[in-house]
């Protein structure tokens, strides 16, 4: 297996202005995104077990299945990550972000591009929950238009 990891972030929020718990939530989301990139690149859902709920992992299963069935991997690069807000209430948190990603598919064996590069912009609410004292991503929900 070839590990493909691209992660270019533009943080537009001053980490020094965040509380320690907000920093922990931000770290949980960025760790989730790194694991997601690795999951797509290696076509392996095991990377997500520490960072996402079972429900969220199940949402990724059809994508990984399609990649495996076609002999492809998805290369994902997060080009922008702008945190708009972080809200924490007890064992639940929401991180609102605007993101830009670039994706393409490659043949697992030859490295040939099988689906050309495409850029996507997202406005996402990361819904997190605290499990055994650790924040994990429970779901993602779009916001705005």
- Name the β-bridge partners of 73: 106
Name which of 13-22, 80-89, 91-100, 111-120 the model is least confident about: 13-22
pLDDT at res. 15? 59
pLDDT at res. 7? 42
Distance CA 25, CA 18 (A): 10
pLDDT 10s digits, 21-55: 999 999 999 999 999 999 999 999 999 999 999 99
pLDDT 10s digits, 95-141: 999 999 999 999 999 999 999 999 999 999 999 999 999 999 999 99
Domains of the chain: 6-142 (3.10.450.240)
Contact 48, 39 (CB under 8 A): yes
Where b means 16+ CB within 10 Å and e means fewer, 6-29 reads eeeeeeebeeeeeeeebebbbebb
Which alpha helices (DSSP H) does 3-123 contain, by range? 20-42, 54-70
* Residue 41 CB partners (closer than 8 Å, separation 6+): 2, 3, 4, 5, 73, 74, 75, 76
């Amino acid at each position: 297996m070839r590990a493909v990891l691209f992660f270019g972030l533009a943080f537009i929020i001053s980490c020094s202005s965040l509380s320690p718990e907000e920093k922990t939530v931000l770290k949980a989301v960025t760790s989730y995104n790194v694991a997601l990139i690795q999951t797509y690149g290696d076509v392996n859902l095991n990377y997500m077990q520490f960072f996402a709920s079972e429900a969220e992992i199940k949402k990724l299963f059809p994508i990984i299945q399609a990649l495996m069935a076609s002999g492809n991997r998805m290369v994902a690069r997060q080009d922008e990550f702008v945190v708009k807000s972080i809200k924490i209430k007890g064992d639940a948190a929401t991180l609102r972000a605007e993101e830009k990603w670039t994706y393409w598919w490659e043949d697992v064996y030859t490295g040939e591009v099988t689906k050309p590069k495409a850029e996507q912009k997202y406005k996402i609410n990361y819904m997190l929950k605290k499990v055994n004292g650790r924040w994990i991503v429970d779901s993602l929900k779009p916001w705005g238009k």
